Amino acid sequence: MSTIGGTISVDSSSPQVGTTPWPADEDEPWIPVVRRKKQSKDPRRSRRSGAARAASSRLDGEEQQRQFETPPNPSPQLTLEQIARRHDRISTEWRAGACCAQLRSLVEKSLPSHVRLTRAVCLGIGSFEPVESVPMVARVAHVQLEAFRVMAELLEAHCGAPVQRIIQEPCFSPTDKQFCESLGFRVVDTPTAFDMIDGETLLYGIHLYIPTWAQALRKQLPGCWVGCRVDDCERYRDLQNQDIDIARIQAIDDTFDKMPFPQEKKGDFTFSDTVVYWAQR
């Protein structure tokens, strides 16, 4: 499985992929799991891919970022009530587990010695609708959202004042937006959130594409960044043969305290390769 940019792709080698339906839960319909076709070994296709990569390297940051935006689901299946029920169930389970306890401990221990954060911005959380080929993706979105909420709650308790919660996700359906608003989030369209980041911002985005990070960090560094490791950014840039400026990501890696994000369990991809970068006071 690949989780770059919050998108999970499944190939036929995965033990979870087959031709039988996978029941998501009682709030969702059964979703057929579809095998992805193997990529062609045709060298002509490789040459075309190389040309496409070379062309993309000439795009500016905004155009690169737009390449990876997933459009909203035109036919959402779940109602607001179904999404809310599912979130309550998943979040209750997650908050009772070790991952949440470890995250709380990490934030609480860091608060006294690190910069004060008064705003929390969440990017690319993903839709809460089931994905056709990988229905567990919706659960990942719920867990990642709840971890963001826990961090914001702890920041708010430490500040003694409200912490503004902003969320930006191009693939949100109207129902996704309504659900986030019901939790107290301000839902904004791309690229609004990119311009709301300053030195007192918690910037949170799990498995985002590197062009998205480049856009989010282009004006000012946040006080705290929950994202990928700088070496992952370098590998992605080299693999895609794209001219992506990661100097600001490198600056965060060089100057901020770096702490691994707690994992749900060994081998789980929900927070895989995720790091908490936090500037000291």
Number of domains in the chain: 1
Coil, helix or strand for 262?
A: coil
Q: Please give the residue range of the domain that contains residue 182.
A: 4-35+42-278
Which strands make up the sheet holding 201-204, listed edge to edge?
186-188, 164-168, 119-123, 201-204, 224-228, 274-278, 257-260
What does the longest C-alpha to C-alpha distance in the chain come to? 61
- pLDDT truncated to tens, each residue of the chain (281 aa)? 334 444 333 333 333 333 333 334 545 444 333 333 444 444 333 333 333 433 444 345 455 445 556 677 777 889 999 999 999 999 999 999 999 999 999 999 999 999 999 999 999 999 998 776 566 788 999 999 999 999 999 999 999 999 999 999 999 999 999 999 999 999 999 999 999 999 999 999 999 988 898 899 999 999 999 999 888 887 777 766 667 778 999 999 999 999 999 998 877 899 999 999 999 99
Q: In CATH, what number is assigned to the domain containing residue 249?
A: 3.40.50
Q: Reduced to 3 states, what is the DSSP secondary structure of residue 211?
A: helix
Reported as type and span, the H/E element at residue 148 is: helix 137-159
* 211, amino acid identity: P
DSSP string, 44-97: HHHHHHHHHHHHHTTS-HHHHHHHTPPPPPSS----HHHHHHHHHHHHHHHHTS
What's CA 85's distance to the chain center, in Å? 22
